[in-house]
Structure 1
Amino acid sequence: MKKIALNIAAFLVLALSWSCANDRDDELGPVSFLEIKNFIYDGMQLYYLYKPEVPELANDFFESRDARNDFLNSFDTPENFFYNGVVAPVDRFSFITDDYRELERSFAGISKTSGIEYGLSLDRNDPNFAFAWVRYVLPDTPASAAGVERGMLFNSINGERLTTTANADGTYSLSARSRELLNLDVFSIDLAEFDTNDDLQPTGVSIDLTQVEYTENPVFIAKTLTVNNRKIGYLMYNAYRRNFDVQLNNAFAQFKADGIEDLVLDLRYNGGGSVETAIDLTSMITGQFNGQVITKQRWNPEIQAFLESDDPESLIDRFDNTISNGNAINSLNLSRLFVIGTGSTASASELTIIGLEPYIDVQTVGTTTVGKFQASITLYDSDNFSRNDDSLNPSHFYAIQPLVYTYENSAGTVGPPSGIIPDFELRENLTNLGVLGDESEPLLSLALDQILGRSPSGKSRSGMKFEHFTAVENQSIDFQRMYIDYLPEVLQNKK
């Protein structure tokens, strides 16, 4: 992806027309909500993908600056203004943070964790209660040291049941109290198990845990399987993180050295991340299409028209042959790919699938993905919305992460908002999740069936269905986000 230099002198009628230098506070000290809301408005009016769907973002909507400020002041907080004033109803993914330092840490995979990555499901007998199931355990964490394993179930923290709150649309969310329990620095999980009637019962066993600061390597499992004398690569990849591109590329170097003939890419828990890393991953899987188009971006009409006129190449993402540090990509030159996906698979994961489909045979296993086919950028309160600018407002840490473009692949296909439907459907079985990376693990086994042309096992694989409604990663600020790693340059101050 190219750096975009927008000469906003050509955009004289854009969002910036109302801005002027004396609107910024010259004195350090507490920042007013109005100042923050003005920054939010300027950024959204310039970059927001769904600008045409928000009447208040029209360039000529307000007759005066005072009228605009009256509108901004009708919202009590920056968060209220962002979500209820300038985010379109169709938008599920744009967000605001009051501490961009936390956001930057999240993008780098840094968080406080006990090491348990879990899903949450409703108690099938009473949806006012929930239970957690361990999806995987991070290495070298308190959870791994305490013996927590994939497939363990717990429905209480410190003896207190996990509860839910009913939403207006008929769905459920974890209650505020349960979120508080799950975020304690020191806590105990109370294990449970299914009885003969498939009802959840406490086992009487508790495991004490603490939370520590941890940097997660998203390359969770990379191994070569030999099945029926055929070498098959298996990669469980859990987030598209730019700072781990070297580790990802090294995994492909090993696959290449092993001479794998097929690859199973496990994205079942991968909510996305860096667009650039997604482009690199498609190039690692292939290699024979260097320079050809993967995706074509579509911004809001004003920026789209400008870029089409001034720098049309900047709208195209192409297969490449180097990662972010300049190292050569280790390409496999595969002609087909098997992807494991679920309802936790989103954004950059879906770009990988959609981007490759015109070039190689991509077959998906699992359940329908999220359906998130837009990219975002981080906007900071500075003259060019950049973090690395001398004008960065020192009085607060607010930033916004708006959606700025959607895309189509080289064949003109736009990903469906309802998600990618699997070619071979199979829901994870909470009563028998299996061992990740093991040939008998149900989802991997189904992918291997397709590779080897063998008949699936006759036993029931899906087990009892539980309503899965959330997971640990959705407490992360960058949950299901796909982002550009750098801000397009704006060659005119916004103030």
Structure 2
Amino acid sequence: MIKFKQINKLLFLLALAVFSACQNNEVDPDEETGSDSDYQSVNTWIYEVMNDAYFWYKQMPASTTLDAKSNPTDYFEKLVYQRTTTDRFSMVTDDTDELQNSFDGISKIFGISYSISYIDNTNTSVGLFLNYVVNGSPAANAGLKRGDIILKANGTQLTRDNYSSLLSGSETLTFTLGTVNGSMISAGSSTVSVTKAVVTEDPVAFSTVIDKSAYGKKIGYIVYTQFVPGIDGNDSKYDNELRQIFADFKSQGVNELVLDLRLNSGGYISSATTLASLIGKSVSGSKVFYREQWNDKYVAYWQKQYGSSALDYPFQNEANNIGGNISRVFVLTSQGTASASELVINGLKPYMDVVTIGDHTAGKNLFGSLISDDQGRWKWGLYIMLGQTANANGESDYGTVNGMTPVYQVADNLLPYKPFGDDNEPLFSKALSVMGIPISTNARTASGRTASAVVAGSFRDNLQVTESRMIKTSLRER
């Protein structure tokens, strides 16, 4: 028996879907947490939720074959379908509030995002090369910015052996910055002390209009780091910020658009729909943005309730749509470009030319919801994959570890990182080239060195890796 319920009102006034099978066992909320019996109750709940809503519920092992008293994290992993290749994203948490805050862009952070690369030929000493600093964060308030290099933490040189312990050892760190002399990087005298604080991150990291009128181009450039619609008390704050940015693009006669999603691991589908609706050419509320495929029980339910097109989701009618002024969109990508970001790329392809530049994307065509116990018996919760998406043409072929292959493969490894929208920045430079805008000799020969990465990818604060997310906020996002 399938039940549909909604959990309590959450931040941004968004209600997440709660799926639950018929409950046969009631548990005393005051029961001691962490006991075998409590674990058994949590695991029973986990299995019932997964057996009801999980996209691959038919591939789950029988509950009788599992140790119901094991730690819920271990128990959950037994249920995940093909962890390394197919469902790389479902997760269990022992604190749904903390995970929800993360989804909503709220976390206790320094506010730095960086790559970790060697700075010497011995592959011993390393540096943190800042690719983004969160606006309004302690790091930004201390003056740190994209392109800065951190070589020391609390006076100790970062190395391949100690950087992990140094970065995670304290909520206050004093960073020593590095300087570049030709291809050499060395510690300077400048230091910055930063203490973590709770930050609500504005997903618009940067936006501008770049005037290349000598070549007949006005370029709208936006760096968007997470799909989040708003904040508590103003649930459309960030979506409305997007609308205003595109209104400015439109009024200034933008005829090319660069959407920088290389730092965007996903977020709420509702904001992905808003962004795509501001960009798409000849799109409207009557055109399909994406389609969903749930497990067979839910497909039958939705179609019975809403008809054969129940899982077709349209664009929005957006007054500030610039699709009439552009024929294509340039999207800058990385291996961290995931989920809702990929949904926007895939969903726009039937309507316009989408020119991707950078690295292959993460490969997440799946969507999920954060599910907690509606009886409040524990803080354990699940972010599970409910299904997958496709565009209006039925295309959804990027759900592998190789993701979407960019139209133009360009390495984002020139250090230190150039400012967003700088002609010298490698990915934007390629976009300019494709637009037919020549790059000056100085830009082509700009000083810098290529990275020799210690660990592939981009990290935040003390080695946090942002999870790829495509989140539904209700049972029916209409």
Q: TM-score range by the shorter chain?
A: 0.7 to 0.9
- 2:117–2:451 CA contact under 8 A, matched in 1: no
Q: Which residue of 2 aligns with 1:218?
A: 203
Deviates more, 1:337-346 or 1:421-430: 421-430
Gapped regions of structure 1 (runs ≥ 5): 9-14, 166-173, 323-327, 383-391, 490-495
Matched positions, count: 439
Q: Which residue of 1 aligns with 2:13?
A: none
- 1:295–1:317 CA contact under 8 A, matched in 2: yes
- 1:106–1:478 CA contact under 8 A, matched in 2: no
TM-score (norm 2): 0.82
Over the matched positions of the two proteins, sequence identity in percent amounts to 28
Q: Describe how 1:56-455 pairs up with structure 2 within 5 A.
A: 56=61, 61-62=62-63, 67=64, 71-73=67-69, 75=70, 77-89=71-83, 90-121=86-117, 125=121, 130-162=126-158, 177-178=165-166, 180-181=168-169, 184-193=170-179, 198=183, 201-203=186-188, 205-227=190-212, 228=214, 229-243=216-230, 244-286=238-280, 288-290=282-284, 291-311=286-306, 312-321=308-317, 330-333=321-324, 334-382=326-374, 392-393=375-376, 395-416=377-398, 417=400, 418-452=402-436, 454=438
Equivalent of 1:30 in 25, 29, 32 = 32
- 1:87–1:94 CA contact under 8 A, matched in 2: no
Q: Deviations over 1:353-400 (max 9, x none)?
A: 111111101111112211111111111112xxxxxxxxx32x421111
Equivalent of 2:56 in 24, 27, 50 = 50
- 1:41–1:86 CA contact under 8 A, matched in 2: no
Q: Which residue of 1 aligns with 2:7?
A: none
**CA distance in structure 2 between the partners assigned to 1:40 and 1:431 by the alignment:** 46
- 2:29–2:378 CA contact under 8 A, matched in 1: no
Offset of residue 27 of structure 1: 4.8
User: In structure 1, what residue type is equivalent to 2:153?
Assistant: I
Q: Which residue of 1 aligns with 2:10?
A: none
- 2:282–2:351 CA contact under 8 A, matched in 1: no
Offset of residue 476 of structure 1: 5.7
- 2:369–2:385 CA contact under 8 A, matched in 1: yes
Q: Partner of 1:273: helix, strand, or coil?
A: strand
Equivalent of 2:469 in 481, 486, 492 = 481
**CA distance in structure 2 between the partners assigned to 1:332 and 1:25 by the alignment:** 54
Offset of residue 20 of structure 1: 3.9
**CA distance in structure 2 between the partners assigned to 1:358 and 1:44 by the alignment:** 34
Q: Partner of 2:456: helix, strand, or coil?
A: strand
**CA distance in structure 2 between the partners assigned to 1:133 and 1:209 by the alignment:** 16
**CA distance in structure 2 between the partners assigned to 1:313 and 1:379 by the alignment:** 26
User: In structure 2, what residue type is equivalent to 1:250?
Assistant: Q
Q: Deviations over 1:172-207 (max 9, x none)?
A: xx97624523xx3211123335666x5654335432
- 1:192–1:202 CA contact under 8 A, matched in 2: yes
Change (3 A) 1:427 1:247: same
User: In structure 1, what residue type is equivalent to 2:388?
Assistant: T
**CA distance in structure 2 between the partners assigned to 1:164 and 1:50 by the alignment:** 40
CA RMSD of aligned residues (A): 3.1
Q: Which residue of 1 aligns with 2:233?
A: none
Change (3 A) 1:431 1:164: closer
**CA distance in structure 1 between the partners assigned to 2:379 and 2:373 by the alignment:** 8
Change (3 A) 1:445 1:272: same
Q: Partner of 1:92: helix, strand, or coil?
A: coil
- 1:233–1:262 CA contact under 8 A, matched in 2: yes
Q: Which residue of 2 aligns with 1:389?
A: none
User: In structure 1, what residue type is equivalent to 2:224?
Assistant: Y
- 2:96–2:381 CA contact under 8 A, matched in 1: yes
